[in-house]
Amino acid sequence: MPVRGIRGAISIEEDQPDLILEATRELLEAILQANPSLVPDDIASITFTLTPDLCSVHPARAAREMGWGQVPLLCGLEIAVPNSLPKALRVLMHWNTDLPQGEIRHMYLRKAIILRPDLVKEN
């Protein structure tokens, strides 16, 4: 079975744990809704990155709180590229699925739609 990547991102207004966890849940739920055959048992792993201005909580906590405790989760720091979107959470989910890459739906929410407007049109 192939492993497919699902990308997504969301902006967060302030560096507060509750806002980061809420945004993480919103993003993961949107990915689930956009990919109806996705179930946590088929997720090989998830990598979350946060821009340097967000550091008050690990977004993986939200995934664990959603019941994804068996999914390998990793958090990291997004590189600080000048003039890039601040206060952003990004996700790369590795999904074991037979779906072709063209049927995978990626999610870019809030101000993060500027990161991949070509993919937002599909959502």
Residues carrying an active site annotation: 7, 64, 75, 78, 90, 108, 116
Measured in degrees and rounded to the nearest 5, phi and psi for residue 88 equal -125, 140
SS3 content of the chain, % helix, strand, coil (to 5): 35, 30, 40
Give yes or no for a contact between 8 and 16, defined as CB atoms under 8 angstroms apart: no
Nearest to 92 by CA among 4, 5, 24, 3: 5
State how far the Cα of 73 lies from the Cα of 25, in Å rounded to an integer: 14
